[in-house]
Amino acid sequence: MLREDLKKELDNLNEEQLRKIADFIADLEFQSRPIVQSTPFWQRATSVERSREFRKWISQLPKNGSSLSDEAFSRDTIYADDELSA
């Protein structure tokens, strides 16, 4: 009964009134959406899920081969020569 009454009322509304009703319906739909969890993924995910996401992220990195040289990873090249002799 209510649905039919509302349909009749809608037929009598002008464009501005229909726009307001459409906005109201959109607002109702927005409010009824589930709330997104505010807990960060890394806190709620299992170690397997975190690992999978990390590997997925790594796979998207550029594969152009530019990296640090082996010398850059060497501990000997971190410190200046004069600091080693001190």
- Residue 61 pLDDT more than 80? yes
Distance CA 51, CA 56 (A): 9
Torsions phi, psi for 37 (to 5 deg):
-60, 135
Q: What confidence tier does 76 reach under pLDDT thresholds 50, 70, 90?
A: confident
* pTM given for the model: 0.38
3-state secondary structure (DSSP) of residue 58: helix
**Would residue 65 be called left, alpha or beta, if left means φ above 0 and alpha means ψ between -120 and 50 degrees?**
left
